[in-house]
Amino acid sequence: DGGITQSPKYLFRKEGQNVTLSCEQNLNHDAMYWYRQDPGQGLRLIYYSQIVNDFQKGDIAEGYSVSREKKESFPLTVTSAQKNPTAFYLCASSITSGNNSPLHFGNGTRLTVT
Amino acid sequence: AQKVTQAQTEISVVEKEDVTLDCVYETRDTTYYLFWYKQPPSGELVFLIRRNSFDEQNEISGRYSWNFQKSTSSFNFTITASQVVDSAVYFCALRGGSEKLVFGKGTKLTVNP
């Protein structure tokens, strides 16, 4: 079955530690995205990548980093510089970055930092 | 700037009632796409529909229907004869000339038996 896999589903970290969230897709999609969801806030774009070895900052990129070394993978690192890292993180992909391509989402990773 | 407003934060209905979720958008682009997504308690967002700005035909898919009106910049979603399985958070989203998909804050729908 084609889809997007995010792991782990729940992640706990101590403040001051970097943590990497995994996102893998086998849909052969060119574009991939990371969103953050907070209660009552909707989804906010962190980073996106239109093609391998290329990525752009979204609306709330500070304190995060990404890489896109393979088409299938788009890991997100939450660094210690992110002031409020506790949130639900959603990875998505689309066939292209064109504005008519619907996004397909993974099941999300809930990160808790204490 | 692009913006999507879902004024209804939470809606609660009894099974078999019809319910309409409102979505109002703002954009300066002449070509744009509107989307609806469903987020069940499991967390993933499920794509429901895409509508481009040049197609104002309403669409029906089973118990779901969408009403797109450019004159009022609205793209409302109606569920007919709601069921408990329809309970979820529903997001309206807009994608214009840029690559970014802008989401509304979502409407939490609870369908009670």
Residues forming beta bridges with residue B83, ordered by sequence position? none
Q: What is the pLDDT of residues B46-99, one digit of tens each?
A: 999 999 998 888 888 899 999 999 999 999 999 999 999 999 999 999 998 766
Number of H helices, E strands in chain B: 0, 12
Contact B44 A100 (CB under 8 A): no
pLDDT above 80 for A97: no
Neighbours of A45 (CB within 10 A): 21
Write the single-letter amino acid at A93.
Answer: S
Considering only alpha carbons, which residue of chain A is nearest residue B41? A107
Position with higher pLDDT, A75 vs B56: A75
Neighbours of B70 (CB within 10 A): 11
**Pick among B45, B50, B103 to test the A interface (most A CBs inside 10 A):** B45
- Nearest in space to B10 (alpha carbons), one of B92, B105, B110: B110
Token pair of B100, please?
Answer: 């970014």
Q: Which residues from A are below 8 Å from B95, CB to CB?
A: 99-100
- Helices (DSSP H) in chain A: which residue ranges? none
A99 band by pLDDT with thresholds 50, 70 and 90 = low
pLDDT above 90 for A64: yes
